[in-house]
Amino acid sequence: MSSLVGAIAIARSQVDAIVAHARAGAPDEVCGVVAVRDGSVVSVIATRNAAATPRNRFEIDVRDLMRIVEVEREGLDVGFYHSHPVSVAYPSATDIGFAELWPGALQLMVSLRHDLPGEIGPEFHAYRIFPPRVDVVAIAIDEGR
Ligand SMILES: [Zn+2]
């Protein structure tokens, strides 16, 4: 199935952890690092958002940059996640700019724009960005983990 080439596997508990971080940080954006092995997310690491305008930007705090190094030292692929409290879970121009530093890295995004009682809930999407190109990555959520 060519439509699944490049799909990423992630555990429900990992999705829940990212959504919980996003909700706790709202109305600011939150961000974090993910470690990926062979197309599967193996860990989710919350980091601090040091952006001057965190309502619509994220910037991983320098105190947390070591987490990226740790993932690399373990021989894993570095990916990222961040939230959009009020906008769609699609990379902004700023996000595409960030990806200049990490072309092709997994970028998980959660939007809380419909995360209200009676609405559809958080939206969760994955991308790989090769600036300026944005590739949508299919997500396979393992409900049992
Ligand atoms: Zn963004």
Place of tokens 């959009």: 84
* Residues noted as catalytic: 29
Domains, the chain: 2-142 (3.40.140.10)
Instruction: Please report the pLDDT score of residue 5 as a whole number.
Output: 53
Instruction: Please report the pLDDT score of residue 14 as a whole number.
Output: 98
- Secondary structure class of 1 (helix, strand, coil): coil
Each residue's pLDDT tens digit, 62-75: 999 999 999 999 99
| Dist CA 122 CA 114 (whole Å) | 6
Average pLDDT of the segment spanning 117-136: 95
Element (H, E) at 47: strand 40-47
User: 29 exposed, middle or buried (CB, 10 Å; 0-12, 13-18, 19+)?
Assistant: buried
- Measure 48 CA to ligand 1 centroid, in angstroms: 15
Among the listed residues 128, 144, 145, the one whose alpha carbon sits nearest the alpha carbon of residue 39 = 128
- Secondary structure class of 93 (helix, strand, coil): helix
- Measure 144 CA to ligand 1 centroid, in angstroms: 29
- Measure 92 CA to ligand 1 centroid, in angstroms: 5
As a whole-number percent, the residues of the chain with pLDDT over 90 amount to: 94
Element (H, E) at 66: helix 65-73
